[in-house]
Amino acid sequence: MAADPITVEVLRSALPAIADEMSHVLKRTSYNMMIYEVGDYSCAILDKEGNLLAQNGGGVSHFLADMGVVIRDGVERIKKFVPGDVILMNHQRVCGQHLNNMCVYTPFFWKGELFGFTIIRAHWIDVGGYSTGFGAGSSASDPWLEGLQFNQLKIYEAGKPNETVLAMISDNIRYPESSMGDLDAQITACNLGLKRMEELFSKYGEATVEECIQRIFSESEALCRQVIAEFQDGTYEFETEFDDSASATDGPIRIHAKVIVEGSDMTIDLSGCSKQRNSGINGRTLAAPYIAYKALTSPIDPVNEGSFKALKVILPEGSFMMAQFPAPMAGWSTALPSVIDAILAAMAPARKSMTPAAHKGAMGDNLTFFGVDNNGKRFVVQSTEGGGWGGRPTEDGPSASCTICQGDVRNGPIESLEQRFPIVVEQRGLRTDSAGAGQFRGGLGLDVKVRNLVAGRWNITQTGRHRVPPWGLWGGKTGGKPDRLVQKNGENDWKSVNANWYQVPTESRVIIRSAGGGGWGDPLDREPERVLDDIRDGMVSVDAARSEYGIVTKSTGKTGLDAIQIDADATKAARQELRAQRG
C-alpha cells in the first residue's frame, strides 16, 4: 500500500532532524573551535548507493556534493561492512578537498542487510605536513606535503578499535588531543544517527521508509523543475577571472559559465573554465554548480538527492574543479564562490527579479596564527571572517557574512579567541565605503585587526578578488577589494602581504580585510533617505555619497544623527550632472 501523505511529511522532517541531532552532539563534544564555534562541518545520511537522504540544516554547503562519491567508493573498495565499523577517509583521489576535511562514516543495517550510512565531514585543525590552519597547505606542491591521507581506512572493525592505526595517526599530527577528540566526537554523532535510523525503521518499517524516500526525491525534483520552468528558455553565458595568488606561472583562472534552460531542464556547462593548475587551488567537486542550482530553485527547503535530479553538469576531467590526482588541492574551495557568482550572473537576463550581484566571492578571509605560548604549549588560532554580499532586486546585500559555500559557518567569538589564545582582537568592524554602490547597495566588508602577544607565524594569503572585485548588476558598482596588511612591532607603516607561515615578532598587528558586495541597479536611483541613513551609520562617507550616489548633504547645526540632512536642490543638480557625464 502506498505511503500516505502524512507519513511522507513526517519522514520529510524526520530524516533532517536526525542529521540535526547528529550536528548538536558533534558541537557539544568536539575539541576544535572550527567545529563547535565556527561550524565547519556537515552531518548527513546516505543510502548504500550514495544517494543523499538528508543533511543537517546549515551544514557546510560545499560539502553536500561530495558525500556520495565517498560512500560509492567505499562500497566498491571495502566490499563488506559489519555493524560497528568506522571508516576514516580524506584521500584526495576521491574526496578532492584539502586533507583537513575529514570524513568519518558508519554503516547502518536493518535486519542484517546494509541500507546506508551516517557520515560527518569536519575540519580538523591539523593532519600533519603543511596542513596547520588555513592557507599554508597552498604551499604544498602535492598531497603528501600537505598531510596524512586516509584511503577508506577502517579504524574500527565490528566495534573494536584498531589501536595501532589510531596511535599512528596520533603520533603524526601536531595537535593529537584536538584531532583525536574530534574523531571521537564524529564517531559518537554517527552512532547516534544509527540509533535514530533504527528507531525510524522500527516504527514505520523498511518498505514504508523506502517508499517515502523515493516520494521525497520525486517531489524535490518536481519543485525544482517548477521553478526552472519559469525561466526564459535559452543559453546564457558569463565569464570572469580569478587571481591564483599561489601560482607564479599559471596566471589568473578563467571562469566561464554557460547555462542552458530548456523547459524544466537546466544544464550548467563549466567546460570553458581553466584546466587544473600547478597550485593547490584545484579540487574534485560539483559543489559550485550544485549550490548555484539549489540557490536558484529551493534555497530554503531541506536538501536531498532529488534536489539535483533535474540538473545536468558538464565539468570535464582535468578542469581545475575536477582535477586528476595527485594535483595539489589544499586551496580547493578558494575560487568556488566566484564560480557560483558567475553562474548566477549568467542567469541574470533570464530572470532579473531574482538574481543578486556578486558577493565577496572568495573563500579564505580566514584568521590563522600559530606558535608556542608563554607556557610552552603549541597553539593555532583559527576563525573564518565574513564579507559583503551583493545587492538584490529588492534589498541591500548583507554585510560581514561568510560565502554562499559555507552554510551557517560563522566567525570565532572574540571572547573565545582571546581567552584561549595569546592574541587581542583590536577591531572587527565594517569598512566604510566597501559596499558596491547601487539602487540596492552591496553589503560591507570587514576589517579585522589582531595583535599577537607572542612571536609566531601568520597564514595571510590574498583571496583572489583583487583584479576583478565583486561585480555589480544592472548598473551597480563593484565592491571594495580585499587585502592582507601587516604592521610588525616597531614599524609605523602597514604592508600588504601574501604569504604563508609569515613570521612576526611579539606585538605585531595584522588586518584581515574582506571584500564588499557588488551593487544592484543604478546608484542614482537609490532613495536619498537610504543614503542618508548609510552616512549616519558610518557605512557610506559624505564624499562617496556625492561621487557615487549624487547625494549632497548640509549641516543643520545640531548634534548627533541630526547633524546633517540632504540638500535637495544640490542633490537634484548633482544627479543630473552625473547622468550627463555618462552620456
Q: What percent of the chain has pLDDT over 70?
A: 99
Which H or E element spans position 23? helix 5-29
DSSP secondary structure string for all residues of 30-92: ---HHHHTS--EEEEEEETT--EEEE-TT--GGGGGGSHHHHHHHHHHH----TT-EEEE--T
Using CA atoms, how far apart are residues 168 and 157, in angstroms rounded to an integer? 17
Q: How confident is the model at residue 117 (pLDDT cuts 50, 70, 90)?
A: very high
**Nearest C-alpha neighbor of 259 from the set 300, 287, 231:** 231
Q: How confident is the model at residue 138 (pLDDT cuts 50, 70, 90)?
A: low
Question: Averaged over 508-515, what is the pLDDT?
Answer: 97
Question: Averaged over 15-35, what is the pLDDT?
Answer: 96
Chain segment 358-383, per-residue pLDDT in tens = 999 988 788 999 999 999 999 999 99
Using CA atoms, how far apart are residues 468 and 568, in angstroms rounded to an integer? 35
Chain segment 470-489, per-residue pLDDT in tens = 999 999 999 999 999 999 99
Chain segment 321-351, per-residue pLDDT in tens = 999 999 999 999 999 999 999 999 999 999 8
Q: How confident is the model at residue 137 (pLDDT cuts 50, 70, 90)?
A: low
Q: How many CA atoms lie within 13 A of 183 on its CB side?
A: 22
Q: How confident is the model at residue 304 (pLDDT cuts 50, 70, 90)?
A: very high
Domain spans of the chain, in order of start:
5-220, 356-524, 527-582
State the pLDDT at residue 261: 97
Question: Averaged over 112-131, what is the pLDDT?
Answer: 95
Q: How confident is the model at residue 64 (pLDDT cuts 50, 70, 90)?
A: confident
Q: How confident is the model at residue 1 (pLDDT cuts 50, 70, 90)?
A: low
Contact 277, 244 (CB under 8 A): yes
State the pLDDT at residue 234: 97
State the pLDDT at residue 73: 98
Q: How confident is the model at residue 136 (pLDDT cuts 50, 70, 90)?
A: low
Question: Averaged over 267-281, what is the pLDDT?
Answer: 96
Q: How confident is the model at residue 314 (pLDDT cuts 50, 70, 90)?
A: very high
Helix and strand numbers, DSSP H then E, in the chain: 13, 22
Q: How confident is the model at residue 537 (pLDDT cuts 50, 70, 90)?
A: very high
Contact 553, 565 (CB under 8 A): yes
Q: How confident is the model at residue 297 (pLDDT cuts 50, 70, 90)?
A: very high
Q: How many CA atoms lie within 13 A of 548 on its CB side?
A: 29
Using CA atoms, how far apart are residues 546 and 553, in angstroms rounded to an integer? 8
Question: Averaged over 16-31, what is the pLDDT?
Answer: 97
Q: How confident is the model at residue 135 (pLDDT cuts 50, 70, 90)?
A: low
Residue type, 141: S
What average pLDDT is seen over the chain? 94
Dihedral sign computed on CA atoms, order 540, 546, 550, 552: positive
Q: How confident is the model at residue 2 (pLDDT cuts 50, 70, 90)?
A: low
Using CA atoms, how far apart are residues 507 and 423, in angstroms rounded to an integer? 9
State the pLDDT at residue 46: 98
Q: How many CA atoms lie within 13 A of 320 on its CB side?
A: 27
* Widest distance between CA atoms in the chain: 81
Q: How confident is the model at residue 139 (pLDDT cuts 50, 70, 90)?
A: confident
Using CA atoms, how far apart are residues 113 and 110, in angstroms rounded to an integer? 5
State the pLDDT at residue 179: 95
Rg from Cα positions in the chain = 25
Residue type, 88: L
Which residues make beta-bridge pairs with 427? 449
